[in-house]
A = this chain, B = another copy of it.
Amino acid sequence: MDSNISRREQLRIIIFHTDTPAGRRFDQTLLAVILCSLIVVILDSIPAIHANYADLLAYIEWGFTAVFLAEYILRLYSSPRPLQYAFSFYGLVDLLAIVPGILAIYYSDAQYLLIVRIVRMLRIFRVLKLSPYLKQANYLLAALRGSKQKIIVFLASVSTLVIVFGTLMYVIEGPEHGFTSIPTGIYWAIVTLTTVGFGDIVPKTPLGQILSSLVMITGYSIIAVPTGIFTAELANAMRGEQLQHDCPVCAKNTHEHGAAFCSRCGNQLFPRVGEKA
């Protein structure tokens, strides 16, 4: 690295950039550390492990908190605009990854908040920036974005259905069969419509079972709706590789990547200036 770059500048490149070997290595190490810290939180929640290794795991967790604290301070120090970083999305997430560790010293339950560190894993997309994975994620996001309005219409219809079905089941089955309130009925309707079917609350009366059958068949059929929406949009997004341009003659609007002439009518897509279209 160039020697006339200040130490702070060097730090900034390592910490904030991913396109240098050092920056890449830093981000990869960071991801590994975050993963280890998550595993410690998860292990600590298992009674058998907690009983024997509670102290050890607590020390390790404090260690990770110290590491993340040091990293946070370094980020603040090396950032050209520390305040902007502190209030950016990643800055807040980085802070949130430390606070519960400190709180856990006083309130032991706070340690489970450490799971927010998983949000830091989003950096993984920065590490893989140059990989084709992000492009695929973009396809999926484009398909989701394209179907957003249809999905809202769909979710609104589903919400109406579960409220109506939940209330009906509450009236039909009543508290004696586990439908203790309308919200419980709505919870049951969601469990049933999504075809999860825990079985903790089940209809007992013939009328309740007939209505349940209706809910189940509805749920079984309308799963086609989000699937259809997403598939159609994804197929669109994948075709989106293509050149988006209206042919001046036939108005064909998608063309092969790099096309010079329209493949339908044979006319030039981009007439040269001075020629007539």
Contacts and interface: CB of A to CB of B under 8 A. Distances in A.
Interface of A: 38, 41-42, 45-47, 109, 112, 115, 118, 121, 124, 132-133, 136-137, 139-140, 143, 149-156, 158, 160, 163-164, 167-168, 170-171, 175, 180-184, 186-187, 190-200, 202, 206, 209, 212-213, 216-217, 219-221, 223-236, 238, 245, 247, 249-250, 252, 255-256, 258-273, 276-277
Contacts of A273: 249, 267-268, 271, 276-277
A264 to B, nearest CB: 5
13 contacts: A132-B149, A133-B153, A140-B229, A190-B216, A199-B199, A220-B226, A224-B231, A255-B256, A260-B265, A261-B262, A265-B268, A265-B269, A267-B270
A123 to B, nearest CB: 13
A211 B202 CA distance: 20
A220 B118 CA distance: 23
A194 B170 contact: no
Contacts of A136: 149-150, 152-153
